[in-house]
Amino acid sequence: MITADDLSLRPPVEDDAQLVAELMDVPISTERPAQIVRLWREHWDERGYGTWIIEDPAGRRLGFVGLRSHSDFIRVTIRVIEGEGGDDLATRALRVVVSHALEWLPDLPLRIRLAPEDVATREVAEAAGMTYAPDLDHAVDGDEWQVLELPYVRIADRVPPRAREAMLKMWGEVNDAGGAVGFVPGASQEDVAEVLDGYVARLAEGRTVCVALNSPLGELLGFGFVARSTGMTVAHTANLERIMTDTARRGTNHGALLMAGMHRAAREMGVELVTLDYRGGTGLGEFYTRYGYTEVGRIPGGVRVAPGDDRDGVIMARSL
């Protein structure tokens, strides 16, 4: 089960045929709802993932988010009961599911297809971080379909020149927008480049990796570093550092997707526990708490943003 705010998502059970019947607007006595739920459950048994049933805190079934395996991608579908939160509910549920998928499921593209006139579903998908991929448009039995795809995560032990240029540009923009990424607004590109190049050098040592979130078209949407701790007694831990996303695309779930990718990268490195730190007064504590982090330390006045403006340095941790 996945829980988030005021909704939860769980695998289907036989009784969910009632939900399907309501969504299809057919009597529960018809065969099709039970058949659909049977197929959902078979997919879970075979793949270990599949359709998630959306429930409110009272346990009322509100809809579903479907994940179905294909040979080279995972298809996403979503339906919610009318009058039960509509597009807002669909957006929140889809955000949770695609983030979970990026962290835990096979490394395949997640795609949703929709009719060109289905503006509402497009807006839900875009709010969850999905991007229109025109090269994937197709027709089936005369019906035109457009496809949106989730950003993908690249885990790298080197940074090519073009990627370095994009990362340096984003770092400067995030910094100048007030992001807590190691500098104060107005820091020179040279100062930022020196720190970035330090990370690039550390990648070659094998204990640090770069995690980049990229659009289906290859655009950089965000990045961060997973730095594994040194020493026998802390080799199972790592620190997540310089986490940032494109300032021009805020509100599109990219922060959650990047965190999912960083957790996936850390887990693939054999890490069991991760830590991170942030500058007080930025509201980041609430953000990280949503992804399982707990405050474990605080240094009052440990970060000096400017003369007379000292902030707490806050340390958070979570198990993977």
**Domains of the chain: which residue ranges?**
2-150, 153-319
| Domains 2-150 and 153-319 belong to one CATH topology | yes
Rounded distance, CA 81 to CA 96, Å?
18
pLDDT digits (tens, 9 = 90+) for 38-72: 999 999 999 999 999 999 888 899 999 999 999 99
pLDDT digits (tens, 9 = 90+) for 10-43: 999 999 999 999 999 999 889 999 999 999 999 9
Strand ranges for the chain from DSSP E = 2-4, 7-10, 52-55, 61-69, 74-80, 110-114, 131-132, 138-140, 143-149, 152-156, 208-214, 220-228, 237-245, 273-279, 294-306, 309-319
Half-sphere exposure of 309 (CA within 13 A, CB side): 7
Residue 220 burial (C-beta neighbours within 10 Å; 0-12, 13-18, 19+): buried
Do 157 and 217 contact (CB within 8 A), yes or no? no
Half-sphere exposure of 19 (CA within 13 A, CB side): 23
pLDDT of residue 4: 82
Rounded distance, CA 292 to CA 230, Å?
24
pLDDT digits (tens, 9 = 90+) for 130-162: 999 999 999 999 899 999 999 999 999 999 999
Largest CA distance in the chain: 72
Do 226 and 272 contact (CB within 8 A), yes or no? no
Q: Both ends of the chain: CA-CA distance in Å?
A: 16
pLDDT digits (tens, 9 = 90+) for 209-246: 999 999 999 999 999 999 999 888 999 999 999 999 99
pLDDT of residue 84: 66
| Element containing residue 180 per DSSP (H, E) | none
Residue 178 has pLDDT above 90, yes or no: no
Residue 147 burial (C-beta neighbours within 10 Å; 0-12, 13-18, 19+): buried
Question: Which distant-in-sequence residues (6+ apart) come within 8 Å of 163 by Cβ?
Answer: 156, 212, 220
pTM metric for this prediction: 0.93
263 closest CA partner among 285, 284, 292 = 292
104 closest CA partner among 134, 146, 74, 147 = 74
pLDDT of residue 180: 82
Domain 2-150: CATH superfamily is Gcn5-related N-acetyltransferase (GNAT) (3.40.630.30)
Q: Which residues pair with 295 in a beta bridge?
A: 316
Radius of gyration of the chain (CA): 22
Find tokens 């965000």 and name the residue: 222
Topology of domain 153-319, CATH = Aminopeptidase (3.40.630)
| Beta strand pairing call for 273-279 and 61-69 | unpaired
Residue 86 has pLDDT above 80, yes or no: no
Do 213 and 254 contact (CB within 8 A), yes or no? yes
Angle between helical axes of 254-268 and 86-104 (0-180°, round to 10): 20
Q: Which residues pair with 154 in a beta bridge?
A: 212
Residue 171 has pLDDT above 90, yes or no: yes
Give Cα 262 to chain centroid, integer Å.
9
Segment 71-96 shows an average pLDDT of 90
pLDDT of residue 307: 86
9 closest CA partner among 73, 132, 104, 74 = 104
pLDDT of residue 167: 96
Give Cα 283 to chain centroid, integer Å.
19
